Amino acid sequence: MRDLAGRVVVAVPLLVAVLAAAYFDGWWLFAVGAIAAIVALHELYTTTRPLRPLVPAGFAGVLLGLVGAELGGAEWLFAGLLATFVFAFALYGVAETRQSGTVTIASTILGAFWIGAGVGHLILLRDIGDEYLGRLSIFTVLLAVWAGDTAAYFAGRLFGRHKLAAIMSPGKTWEGFVVGFAASVLVVFFALYQDRDQFLEIWEALVLGAVIAVAGTVGDLFESAVKRDMQVKDSGRLLGGHGGVLDRIDSLLFASVAGYYTIVALH
């Protein structure tokens, strides 16, 4: 019960803050996203310190990408993130490190694209269509990820028996995945049902829910694989016993990208 209460205390204020920023749009969402991205990237680079990532290059690439997403859309998001290659190569030329250049630069770029693209696509989701559709899109993705994670957690704790990925994440079960999958699909269905004739049809909403559910799970497992490789339990301690910011947004980083391109393809 204490663990549950702690999760609620941590999760609810974060969700409310992000939803509020998404509602008001503009630079509010950018500010919240940039703070989350920088903190999460710091946690990742701390976790992967043995790989000697070039931290300033990663920070510069992510911030440039997020500014590009806010001002110019998807093309400028990726232009900013691609600049991480240049920053990392330039820094490696003057940095004093014994680590392989391939490993150092690759770990830098991994963080920038993983976290920068994930947060950047939340900004892109908010800019889909007009004011109403943009708000509807980002709210739907955020709530679907949150509902899926929450339902999977409870189902896994209550009756989970069969391991989903025993090596990468021993706590995840197939039972939790199925319940979380259903929760995400239901949230998307109900969120978009009223606009089924103007935005996404019913079958398209169901496809979007399925994509978000699968992408969120893969995102969670991806971070678990990185932490296992680095032999750490949590990405950070900012949120107390519930880990770091990266631990809380890992599902969203994959789901935001998948959700954005699914909506673009279907709409």
Number of domains observed in the structure of the chain = 1
Q: Specify the pLDDT at position 1.
A: 46
Q: Which of 154-158's residues contact partners 24+ apart within 8 Å by CB, and which partners?
A: 154/179, 155/179, 155/180
8 Å CB contact between 72 and 35: no
Mean residue pLDDT across the chain: 91
* Nearest in space to 66 (alpha carbons), one of 256, 250, 259, 261: 256
Distance from chain centroid for Cα 4: 22
Tell which residue, 69, 117, 64, 116, has the closest CA to residue 86: 64
Beta bridge partners of 173: 163
Residue 210 half-sphere exposure, CB side, CA atoms within 13 Å? 6
Which pLDDT belongs to residue 218?
Answer: 96
Per-residue pLDDT, 264:
96
Distances from the Cα of 73 to the Cαs of 54, 65, 111, in angstroms? 26, 10, 21
Please, are residues 256 and 125 in contact by the beta-carbon 8 Å criterion? yes
Q: Which domain holds residue 221?
A: 2-266
Spans in the chain with pLDDT lower than 70: 1-11, 25-26, 240-242
Q: Which value, in Å, is the radius of gyration of the alpha carbons in the chain?
A: 18
Alpha carbons within 13 A on the beta-carbon side of 99: 18
Q: How many CB atoms lie within 10 A of CB 184?
A: 32
Cα 53 to Cα 47: distance, rounded to the nearest angstrom: 10
For residue 33, the model assigns a pLDDT of 94
User: Using one digit for the tens of pLDDT, what is the confidence trace for 237-262?
Assistant: 777 666 889 998 999 999 999 999 99
Buried b (16+ CB within 10 A) or exposed e, 224-248: bebbeeeeeebbbebbeebbbbbbb
Look at residue 266 in the predicted model and tell me its pLDDT.
94
